[in-house]
Structure 1
């Protein structure tokens, strides 16, 4: 199935199928679990996720720029190297937006703290499964590898959901 058949622009497809998007969702889930174990409020989870995503994104961009500069003996240029690294790493930031919106709903008391945290974890797991499906759909028309990829990718979120259930109860 092509990007056109999926109605996905090449830029969005690159973000959705990036390791950074998957890594970002797993990172966010881990921070939700850790913050829930420490305090339990959606506001604390929101702050922890925002700060962690910013730090990991900045570190990823910095490392990517340094790697590009090293690989080109500095010929790629500092500015272009940082721009390319930021573009490459953007999936981490974009992937964190849905769970952050949910946590913000909890932080603003629009929904219960605990409900917001669980909903963010569940949404992350569903998104992980969707990203796993989309990534394989780019190179395979067969259902079995798509389903397997979706299940394996979602399992990372599932493990963190189990961890939250064990840690906070």
Structure 2
């Protein structure tokens, strides 16, 4: 016998944990780190560690900031430290998830399954695709028309394309 609230559906978890501003920010952060690290001629292994450490630091800072911002009197009621921390963890989860796909691709380069240059560029282009999907889902869940969903996807993906242009200019 179960007690308490029903378990959230997979769609709800996706919507509230991954399709968030933190996810978009996380993909852009990862892409920017790939541009900077790979622009210095570093190997995929070095780029991977740079991305991983940077994302973890930004994620921890985001959780801390969210906890501080929501602790105390928030939305007309008192919010305890534990509740504020759990909420900050939940909201920032997408930032960590956003780093998984590009990091896995960078690991392919680090293990020499694919060349470093291919790993770096593929990780960047994957970021564009992830951003497009995030934009599409965000507009879809708001009931936008298919045309607006596509425009939203393209607009969100444009941030990833901007990182690729930056990489081309830096390289």
Report the TM-score, using the length of structure 2 for normalisation.
Answer: 0.89
Give me the whole-angstrom Cα distance separating, in 1, the residues matched to 2:168 and 2:122.
Answer: 13
Answer whether contact 2:72 2:81 (CA < 8 A) is retained: no
Structure 1: segments with no counterpart, 5+ residues? 1-6
**Does the alignment pair 1:158 with 2:132?**
no
Aligned equivalent of 1:108: 111
Q: CA deviation at 1:15?
A: 2.2
**Does the alignment pair 1:97 with 2:88?**
no
Which of 29, 35, 45 is the matching residue for 2:37? 35
**Does the alignment pair 1:149 with 2:152?**
yes
Superposed CA RMSD: 1.8
**Does the alignment pair 1:138 with 2:141?**
yes
Deviations 1:47-91 (A, max 9, x none): 111011101100000000000114449942222211110111000
SS in 1 for 2:113: coil
Change (3 A) 1:74 1:66: farther
Moved over 6 A (4+): none
Count residues with an aligned counterpart. 162
Aligned equivalent of 1:50: 52
Answer whether contact 2:38 2:47 (CA < 8 A) is retained: yes
